[in-house]
Amino acid sequence: MTDESLGVVSGKLIPNKNYEEIRNAIWSINSSSSTKKFNEFNRLRINCQLENEVFLFPLSGFLIRDLEELPNEELEFQAVGNYRHVIEDNFLVNPPKERIFEPWEFITIEQKISYEDELLKEIGIGNPKGILNFLNSKSHKLSKYSFNAMAKSSRNDDVLFTVNEKGENKFEYAVVHLTWKSKFEENDNYPIAEFFEDFDHFLNYRMYPDKRDWEE
């Protein structure tokens, strides 16, 4: 079920094997009286992938209906703030539109987490800093964005991320060429990032040219 105006997607949730590791935390959130449940769910770093391998990346986050007193009930989720094209391409047409073409390819949840972890290390977010990094208070220019990995190029280390900057968000996507050094890049030019206003911008200026080169 979808609500286009709010970018809402909701439906049945089929958990993978890792879900049990966070289930107690989800029960705790659902039983609390907190008014900031989206924030609490976001801290769990939940990933939701559709049957056609497309990831949902709601800007407002996820809610999951899973109650401790009803552990055998069917799980339901709600994702709020999805980009409009995600809803149009995957829910309003049948079959869903194909939007990823070779040499680009969809990624698994394990790959998604790996790419996001590597990017966070390279821009100095979320990893313990050594003494030299601690003394250097410089922030990487990419650190102002939140990222979600979506697809990768099979030809190199380019990864397509959704990006979001608090306030006025000029870009929705970026292709980042990961260095795989697993440490903070003090040079703002690395990892190299190419930004796109929306998915059509990425399609026309990056994916389609890559597809033509691949087929030649």
Instruction: Give yes or no for a contact between 152 and 104, defined as CB atoms under 8 angstroms apart.
Output: yes
What ranges do the domains of the chain cover?
A: 2-91, 104-215
Q: Residues 190-208: pLDDT tens digits?
A: 999 999 999 999 999 999 9
pLDDT in tens, 61-85: 888 999 889 889 999 999 988 888 8
Residue from 26, 126, 39 nearest 77 by CA: 26
pLDDT (0 to 100) of residue 5: 65
Distance in angstroms (rounded) separating the CA atoms of residues 205 and 158:
15
* 84 three-class SS: helix
Alpha-carbon Rg for the chain in angstroms: 18
pLDDT in tens, 4-36: 667 888 889 999 888 888 899 999 988 888 777
Q: Are 45 and 39 in contact (CB under 8 A)?
A: no
Q: Who has greater pLDDT, 174 or 16?
A: 174
